[in-house]
Every structure is written in structure tokens, then in C-alpha cells.
Chain A
Amino acid sequence: MTLEITNLTGGYSGIPVIKNVNLTVEKGQALGLIGLNGAGKSTTIKHLLGLLRPQKGTITLDGVDLAKQPAQFKKKVAYIPETPVIYPELTLKEHIELTMLAYDLGEDSWDKANELLTMFRLQEKLDWLPVHFSKGMQQKVMIVCAFLTKAELLVIDEPFTGLDPLAVANFIDLIKQACAEGREVLMTTHVLADAQQAIKTYAILNQGTIEFVGSLPEIRAHYGLKETDSFDKLYQVLYQEESRDQHA
């Protein structure tokens, strides 16, 4: 089971935001997609979810081509958006039921659902409308629904915003568990301190192209960061590169 993005070029209104993106996420791997604001992370994810049509390139998951077999592809993917997207008419319980219906999960999935709900302290709120929850609580609903599916690929966009430290710790455990089960994770984030706990490989997206893929020590070496430098310093380096390119 492998996610393969090959020569992906795409954007909005015919203007490419990402250019010739090539990425592979192996079975059991968690890959971090990082870059400055506007680098093309969300655009890449939108293509991966079938929300944008690529101008060029292919996306396949375990041999299933998104362009040719979108329905089968979607069954293999679960998504956690940066801003929680809640159905205003559905209760928390119904969000779980809808996930079960959409992903063809059996009634026995309630065991897993209850486990996740307890983990994120939502078990008492099953009959509530999550649209009235705080942002952090809504994000937990998104996490519960995504991890409830048996999707092979988890696409996670900036997940840490609004989550309390306990929820972050639980979330990281879930990612590790998913990888141990052989699922793939693609996550964008700026909160590298938290991400490092679950993600060992990162793809650096800069101005729409994948500039480098590697582990933390490899990234340090590639961008000339010292051992003592915080990983956040990478952003300063990327910003300097971007400014240099714009002036040139």
C-alpha cells in the first residue's frame, strides 16, 4: 500500500500553485509536509482529496488512480481538515453514524468509536450538536471520525490548532498506532515540536515544488542548520531563499 504522487501540477483558474510535485508515502510511514504559508501544502492536499483537478500528473493509492477510480480511492482516504467542518444538522452520534454509512463500517465499529470518544472526553456529548462545540472540541470530532474509518491513508491538515496538550498527546499516539498498523499518514503542520514525536520523514515544499525529502538530521545537513538550532529555524532559511528568488 503506497501513496504515489507523480509530476503533480495544479492550482486555481489555470494558474499552477504546485509544480511537478513527486511524493511517495510507503506503507506504515508518516510523512510531514512542511513549508511557509502559500508554499502549496493545502493545494497539494486538495488535489489528493479530489477537490481540485490536476493540470498534470497522477495520484495513486495502492494502485488505485484518483482520476480513474475516484469512488474507490475515496474509500481508502480519511481527512482531518485544518478548520473543522461540521454538519450543523447532525449530533455527534450522527457524525459517527454517517462515517459508518459512508465507509461501510459495521455496527461493531461502535467499540472503536467509544474508545476514541473516551480518549477525547466526548463520550458524554453524543446527543449534542457539535456545531455548538468550541473549535478544539470540533477538531476532536474530526479526529474521532477519521480514525474510526479503516482508511489506508490519513490526510491531516494542521491538526494541532485548538487542541489541549492531552488531546495532542493522544492524537500523536493514534498516528503512531496507525503507522504500526501499516497505514500511511500525510500531515501538514507548522507545530514541528509536536509533529516530531510521530513523524520521522519530512518533505519540504517551497514555492510549489518539493525541495527536499529526508529525516531531521538530513534536513539539518541540507539546509546548514546547526545541532543546537531549533527546527523552526528552517522557516527562516526557506524565507531567505524565497526572498532571494523573488529579487532574482
Chain B
Amino acid sequence: MRELAKKRLSANFKQSTKYLALVFNDFFVLALIFIFGAVMFWYAKIMKVLPAGKWYYPLILAGILWIASLPGKLVTLFQEADRQFLFTQDDAVKDYLDEMRGYSRLLPAILIGITAAILYPFASLKVGLNGSNYLFLVLALYWGKMAEQQVVSQEFTFDHRVKRASWLARGLTLAMLLAALYLIPQIAGIVILIPVAASFFLKKRGEKRQGQVFDWQYAIDYETERKDLVYTAFSLFTDVREKRVNIRRRKYLDFLLPSLKKETANSFLFRRSLLRNPEYLNLLARMTAFIVLISLMIADWTWTVPIAFLILYLTVWQLLPLAENYDRNIMYRVYPIDQAKKGQDLSRVLSWALFLQAIVVAAVWLIALPKEKILSVGLLLLWTLLLAKVYLPYKTKEVEKRARYGKKSGRRK
């Protein structure tokens, strides 16, 4: 089982490296450096004027450090087929998970390390912790994270207590940090003894629990959920082939759906996809929220209006792949659905989404913009009409062409 774990870890590392390289591309790194520089500049400035020794500083320090310790679940890399092929390997699972725990320590180490390094000036100058004290406190936090992963690795039984156990471990870690900073600030680092003792106790507990029935399905579901989270994070920056789409019913959005008489088969499908497929709905919600946020933050119509126009355009542009959502569904191709009108129907549905978005934005502008509310809303409606009546029909004609003559005639290869 140790060999299997090593093999899977190596494959997982390769996959993660591939996606990380795509995420941290040149532009993103440049933007990150810029943002980091700006934040550090602000941080340095604020450190000069911030008074020392306020009562809530330990709370801020403990809070930020604790939040940095939250990511980094236990990586198990269990697969659906394990339920069948490793079913008889309950006794060897401990060895497998031991290997996995080694790998799982990496991400928390990086995150806690970077956060602790950034917070060091604040901890030493404003909270009053000396270097070694702070170092041991951070190590205690890291050891607490390892104890959390250790306890999770012991809870894949039919009691289904992984979530409860990990939140209990996290809660205790936060309590430990707060207690150390408020009760014994001069020797705060001494709390490292607590997670060390906990690890020792958990090791003994693990030995005692050896022989308990391992719940494979529970462990596989845990890993699927964890992987989904990772893929979702990657998918914010790049296409992730392995990402599973979790469709949800979202009955509360049904009021937005028009009656059957007003629908064609294509528009019927596209509209439901838009409202229930998280890829599309989240995009629409995210972009709308972005416009609202920008409007509230800038509150100057000369800036807000052009930025909103750009985001509205980007929204529909990013929603265009909806056209291909059913291309691989055999029933979609077998049913007598008019493929040639696909583009036209898509244009109708995207215009509908665009107007929904515009209505929300207009409402916010009418409330929040200090000047030229009516003019801004008028321009917004004009732009929405332009996108719906000119841009979308033009773009979706390409979709029609692809449907009529096959993919080769389309732009995409």
C-alpha cells in the first residue's frame, strides 16, 4: 500500500504542477507581485503609525494565523475503484495514509510559513512577542494542523466523524493560540507542548483503533469533495478537464423561467443550463456582483459606466460556450431538435440573461450612484440592447454555421 500511495502521490504532484504552472502564468505572477508590493507598502506605512499594545492585537494575530492554517485537508487520493479493488486492504490503509500525511503537510507549511513571516513585524513590534516565542507559537499552530490531519486519518470509519473531528481540532487550535497570546504572552511559545502531546496521544489512539472497519465509500466521498475544491480553485484561472459539475435543482429560480409555449427545445435547455449549472450561474452571479461592488466602491458614474459595460460584454462572451453544452449528449442529437436554429435560440437566452443582469445593475445604480443616475441607467439599457440585438446575433451565427456544416467550418478546431 505504501508503494501505491507513492505512485499516486507522484501522479498527483505532476497534475498539480501542471495546473499550478497554468495558474501562475507570467501575467498572473506580474499582477501578484504588483498587488503584493502594494499591500506591503501599505503594511509598512501603517506599521509606522499604528500604536503598540492594543488589547485586540492578539485577536487579530491569532485570527489571521488561524485562517492561514485552515486550507490543507488531508490528501488521500482514494479513487472510486478502490471500493472494489482495495476492499480487503483495511489493515494496510494505515500505512497508505501515513504516506499521504507526509505529503499533506506541505501546503499548510507553505501557507503558515508565508503568513507568519508577513505578520512577524506586527507580532514583534505591536503585540510584543520576541522572535523565539513567536517561532514556537507558529510551530505550535503547524503542529496543531498536523494533529488535525492525523485525527482525520483515523476517522474514516462508519461513525462518519471526519468533519466533526477536524472542526474540533481547528477550534482547539484557535483556543490554544488565543489562550497563549492573552494569558501567557511572555512564554506563548510554550503551548507547542499541547499539539506535541496531542500527536503522541493520537498515535496511541491510532494503534488502539487498528482493526476498526474502514468505510471506503465515506473515504472516497471525502476525497472527491476535496478534489472538487482544488479543481474549483484551479478552474478560476484555467480549464480543468477533471472538474465535476454538480448540478443543483435551484427551485427558487424557477420563477425566472418563461412558460413552455414561449420556448423552443433549444432555449428550454439553454435556460435551465444557465440557471442550474454552477459553471454558468456562478459566472453570471460573479460578474453581476463585480459590477455592483465596483459601482459601490467607485461611486463615480464616469468610471462606473464604462467598467460596467466592459463586464457586461465579458459576461456574454464567456457564456457563449453554453452553445456546446449538449453537443455530446446523444439524445440531443437523436431528438428532432432544430440544430440550425441553435445559435438564434442561444442568442435569445443570453439576451434574457443579460437583461436580468442589467436590471440588477440598474437598481443598484438608482440607489447608490450619487450623480447622473438616470443618464447612467439609460446608457446601460442602450448598451444592453446593443449587445443583445447586434453582438449576440452576430456571434451566435457562427454557432449556427458550425451546427449546419460541422465543426470544421467553425473557427474552433
Contacts and interface: CB of A to CB of B under 8 A. Distances in A.
Contact of B335 (A74, A90, A97): A74
A102 B276 contact: no
Interface stretch (B30-38, B174-182, B267-275): B267-275
Interface stretch (A13-21, A79-87, A184-192, A240-248): A79-87
A81 B331 CA distance: 9
A99 B260 CA distance: 12
Contacts of A55: none
B338 A49 contact: no
Nearest to A99: B335
B336 A102 contact: yes
A88 B245 CA distance: 10
A88 B265 CA distance: 15
Contact of A81 (B276, B277, B330): B330
Interface residues of B, number: 26
A49 B260 CA distance: 27
Nearest to A100: B260
A102 B247 contact: no
Nearest to A83: B330
A131 B277 CA distance: 13
A101 B329 contact: no
Contacts, number: 66
B333 to A, nearest CB: 6
B334 A101 contact: no
Contacts of B330: 51, 81, 85
Contacts of B334: 49-51, 74, 77, 79
Contacts of B275: 89
Interface residues of A, number: 26
A201 interface: no
A50 B335 CA distance: 11
Interface in B84-133: none
Contact of A79 (B245, B249, B265, B331): B331
Contacts of B336: 71, 74-75, 102-103
A98 B260 CA distance: 9
Contacts of A94: 268, 272
A3 to B, nearest CB: 16
Contact of A102 (B249, B260, B265, B272): B265
A146 B332 CA distance: 13
Given A81-B331, A97-B260, A129-B249, A87 B269 contact: yes
A98 B268 contact: yes
Nearest to A77: B334
Contacts of B247: 88-89, 129, 131
Contacts of B260: 97, 100-101
Contacts of B332: 87
A120 B268 CA distance: 25
Interface string B219-259: 00000000000000000000000000101010100000000
A129 B269 CA distance: 14
B265 A89 contact: no
A57 to B, nearest CB: 20
B269 A98 contact: yes
Nearest to B329: A85
A83 to B, nearest CB: 9
A85 B249 contact: no
B337 interface: yes
Nearest to B276: A89
Given A75-B336, A98-B269, A129-B247, A87 B264 contact: no
A99 B277 CA distance: 21
B263 interface: yes
Contacts of A87: 269, 272, 326, 329, 331-332
A100 B276 CA distance: 21
Nearest to B277: A89
Contacts of B335: 74, 98-99, 102-103
B331 A101 contact: no
A97 B263 CA distance: 10
B48 to A, nearest CB: 55
A89 B331 contact: no
Contacts of A129: 247, 249
A227 to B, nearest CB: 41
Interface in A5-64: 49-51
7 contacts: A81-B331, A89-B272, A98-B269, A100-B260, A101-B265, A102-B337, A127-B249
Given A89-B272, A102-B336, A127-B251, 14 more contacts: A51-B330, A71-B336, A77-B334, A81-B330, A85-B329, A85-B331, A87-B326, A87-B329, A87-B332, A97-B268, A98-B265, A98-B268, A101-B263, A131-B247
Interface of B: 245, 247, 249, 251, 260, 263-265, 268-269, 272-273, 275-277, 326, 329-338
> Sorted from nearest, which 7 A-B pairs have the closest CB atoms?
A74-B336, A102-B335, A88-B247, A89-B276, A75-B336, A101-B265, A89-B272
